[in-house]
């Protein structure tokens, strides 16, 4: 049974509905997107009877949970919803405890509903062409750090007294970034800096090794490289995405030919480690995006309970390790680092060749 995500709730005023929810609800041409999203909830258990309300009013956190649930089912995991925490208690074929979290825009920051054409087009600006890249990256690091550390604190304070939580079970935090209006152009670089102290320098096309950054518009230092010692050994890994949003639904809808009338074009920027570094994918039924494309898992080399790379072997999640100061990327498909989703009538003025030249020129 699926959740009735789009039912009208008596205790939710129309003005309280999230703009992204309203967009999905009201646009009759998004039937494919609604079908995919509803399918994600097949078998999902709403333990506190409030996730539909949260989906309609705050959107991102519940959207992320629905997506993760579908990915975990794709991975062949059996989930125990008996207890009120963690968010996902995997019980077979291996045991993992997973807490989901999203990073949000800071108070007073530019609101997500202010997103316009310039923000959409910014998805086609690679780091070396972004004028405010350093400030953008630092803000992403700060927002993602706050989300991860809040879940870490919750784990240490709330899990030790749970009789059903085993100390030897790996613990993963699953983070989706929505911390800036243009979060989709973060790539995975904020996590490399935050977790391993590897700060991407686009002018060098290489990493600077750092131990802290300065929080934007302040003088406050923010520690980075938080996986470089045993201080967070209780965290086995971080699952991360900055591309799980409405464009994901549209891309899957195009891939599966689900919408009655498809009006949008989706282009994925995939990153390779052989030239040309950036591969441009125009999504189509013959050139599909898969469910778990765009997901990364960053392993903690100091974790007391490590998670096997084989755990997600049936998915397209991209594995990142930093053992013995050696950064390694592994995955079946090239990872999606950015997605461009735009009405077809506007895409006619764009040429794939020009996009490729911008990224690889």
Look at residue 343 and tell me whether its pLDDT is greater than 90: no
The answer to whether position 5 is within a domain reads no
Dist CA 84 CA 89 (whole Å): 10
Convert the pLDDT of each residue in 84-141 to its tens digit. 999 999 999 999 999 999 999 998 888 888 888 888 888 889 999 998 999 999 999 9
Between residues 119 and 152, which one has the greater pLDDT?
A: 152
- The DSSP letter of residue 284 is B
Nearest CA to 156 among 134, 171, 142?
A: 171
User: Does residue 6 form part of some domain?
Assistant: no
In terms of residue numbers, what domain contains 312? Answer: 14-360
Domains contained in the chain, number: 1
Those residues whose C-beta lies under 8 Å from the C-beta of residue 22, and which sit 6 or more positions away, are: none
- Digit-coded pLDDT (tens) for 194-236: 999 999 999 998 999 999 999 999 999 999 999 999 999 999 9
> Is the per-residue pLDDT at 348 higher than 80?
no
Question: How much is the pLDDT for 263?
Answer: 85
Residue 3 lies in a domain: no
- Could you tell me if residue 185 is inside a domain? yes
- pLDDT digit string (tens) for 225-238? 999 999 999 999 99
- From 250, 348, 252, 238, select the one nearest 295 (Cα to Cα): 238
Pairwise CA distance, residues 24 & 270, whole Å: 26
- 259-278: per-residue pLDDT in tens? 878 889 999 999 998 889 99
Length of the chain: 361
In this predicted structure, the answer to whether residue 361 has a pLDDT above a threshold of 90 is no
**Residue 242, domain member (yes or no):** yes
pTM: 0.96
Token pair of 57, please?
């009013």
């Amino acid at each position: 049974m699926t959740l009735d995500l789009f039912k009208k709730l008596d205790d939710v005023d129309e003005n309280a509905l999230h703009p992204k929810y309203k967009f999905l609800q009201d646009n009759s041409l998004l039937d494919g997107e609604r079908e995919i999203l509803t399918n994600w909830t097949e078998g999902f258990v709403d333990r506190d009877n409030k996730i539909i309300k949260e989906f309609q009013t705050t959107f991102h956190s519940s959207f992320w949970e629905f997506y993760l649930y579908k990915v975990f089912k794709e991975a062949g995991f059996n989930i125990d919803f008996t207890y009120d925490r963690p968010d996902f208690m995997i019980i077979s074929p291996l045991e993992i405890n997973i807490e989901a979290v999203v990073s949000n825009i800071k108070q007073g920051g530019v609101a997500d509903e202010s997103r316009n054409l310039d923000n959409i087009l910014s998805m086609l600006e690679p780091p070396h062409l972004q004028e405010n890249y350093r400030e953008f990256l630092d803000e992403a690091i700060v927002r993602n750090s706050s989300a991860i550390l809040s879940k870490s604190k919750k784990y240490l304070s709330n899990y030790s007294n749970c009789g059903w939580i085993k100390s030897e079970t790996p613990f993963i935090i699953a983070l989706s970034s929505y911390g800036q209006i243009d979060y989709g152009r973060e790539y995975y670089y904020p996590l490399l800096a935050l977790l391993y102290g590897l700060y991407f320098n686009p002018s060098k096309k290489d990493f600077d090794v750092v131990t802290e950054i300065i929080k934007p518009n302040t003088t406050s230092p923010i520690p980075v490289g938080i996986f470089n010692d045993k201080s967070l050994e209780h965290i086995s890994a971080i699952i991360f995405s900055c591309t799980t949003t409405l464009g994901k639904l549209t891309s899957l809808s195009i891939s599966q030919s689900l919408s009655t009338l498809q009006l949008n074009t989706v282009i994925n920027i995939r990153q390779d480690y052989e030239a040309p570094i950036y591969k441009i994918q125009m999504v189509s039924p013959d050139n599909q995006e898969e469910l778990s494309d765009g997901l990364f898992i960053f392993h903690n080399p100091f974790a007391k309970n490590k998670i096997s790379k084989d755990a997600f072997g049936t998915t397209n999640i991209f594995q990142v390790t930093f053992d013995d100061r050696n950064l390694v990327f592994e995955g079946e498909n090239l990872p999606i680092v950015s997605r461009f989703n735009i009405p077809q009538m506007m895409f006619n003025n764009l040429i794939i060749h020009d996009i490729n030249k911008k990224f690889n020129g």
